[in-house]
Amino acid sequence: MPLYMGEKRRKLLYRTEEETGVYDNVLEGLYSLYKTYILDLEKEFMYYHFYKPLLTSGDFLSKPMILLLGQYSTGKTHLLNI
């Protein structure tokens, strides 16, 4: 750290993710917000009984899946090789 930097500026520049609320990954931030604010409400009102189960980290952080359907020789494999 430079010596000319004041204590106030140093604290602003070297904050943690929790202090700034900024995340490197959008999905990690969404999952953190879900756990912090929404999950407790869903449990309290038993949301999972009448709509769908509670979300897990896998719902937020897993890679998407794509299903390709089509007739023979329509370019499905070509699309994957791109």
Q: pLDDT digits over 3-53, tens only?
A: 555 666 666 666 665 666 667 778 888 888 888 888 888 898 888 888 888
pLDDT at 20: 61
Asked if residue 67 belongs to a domain, the reply is yes
Residue 48 falls within a domain, yes or no? yes
In a domain, 2, yes or no: no
pLDDT value of position 48: 85
Range(s) of the domain holding residue 32: 7-81
Pick the more confident residue, 64 or 3.
Answer: 64
Q: How many domains does the chain have?
A: 1
Note whether residue 76 is domain-resident. Answer: yes
Burial 8-44 (b: 16+ CB within 10 A, else e): eeeeeeeeeeeeeeeeeeeeeeebeebeeeeeeebee
- At residue 4, the pLDDT reads 56
Is 21 part of a structural domain of the chain? yes
Q: Which of 41, 42, 39 is nearest to 30 (CA)?
A: 39
pLDDT of residue 12: 63
